[in-house]
Amino acid sequence: MKPIVRALSGSAALLMLLTATSLAHAHSINYQVEQKGMAVRAFYSEKDAAAYSQYELYGPGDKNPHQIGRTDKNGYIGFVPDRPGVWKLQVWGESTHGFHGVTTDIKVDKALGLEGFSKPLLAAHTKFITGISLVFGLFGLYSFWLSRRRTPADDSGANSNPKEES
């Protein structure tokens, strides 16, 4: 009977040792650093990052977010797409002059690389809007300058009607 008890106690000790090591592995976190994925920078201006802003990232056709979180101190969001298509990123930030939000589409190709992304309407047409603003501004300044050069005699002659004189 003693050999059976020794065998059972030895087996029980081995079983407890194996169980303890597997439980220890279940509570550890492993990691691997890989050079892949995409980074998006959110900012108010080139020098003003949208630091620690909330965001939600939706994969193609997703109803629930693929990823949620906050940007880092430099305004960056990092993610690794797991399928091609159009990904939607929503970022909400609060600056010293109010609450802001933006939604952008990120196009991922079949190799899971960046194909392109959409820009806000203002950012896509900044040069055009600036050009039109300059034209209107210069025209306004020129009109103001002309109105200041007019003399009262010029104004009185402009309102007279030659037909009424006869």
Query: Does a structural domain hold residue 101?
Result: yes
Query: Does a structural domain hold residue 15?
Result: no
Spatial distance between the Cα atoms of 91 and 101, rounded to a whole number of angstroms: 6
Query: What's residue 100's pLDDT?
Result: 78
Provide the pLDDT confidence category of residue 121 given band limits of 50, 70 and 90. low
- CA angle, residues 135, 138, 144, in degrees to nearest 5: 140
Query: Does a structural domain hold residue 55?
Result: yes
Question: Which CATH number does the domain housing residue 53 bear?
Answer: 2.60.40
78 forms beta bridges with 39
Domain total of the chain: 1
Query: Does a structural domain hold residue 49?
Result: yes
Query: What's residue 147's pLDDT?
Result: 83
Domain extent, residue 42, equals 38-118
Query: Does a structural domain hold residue 67?
Result: yes
Provide the pLDDT confidence category of residue 142 given band limits of 50, 70 and 90. confident
**pTM score:** 0.58
Q: What is the pLDDT of residues 76-115, one digit of tens each?
A: 999 999 999 999 999 998 766 666 788 999 999 999 999 9
pLDDT for 57 beyond 90: yes
Which residue type, as a one-letter code, is found at position 127?
K
Query: What's residue 93's pLDDT?
Result: 86
Residue 72's H or E segment, with its range, is none
Query: Does a structural domain hold residue 59?
Result: yes
Query: Does a structural domain hold residue 80?
Result: yes
Name the more confident of 24 and 88.
88
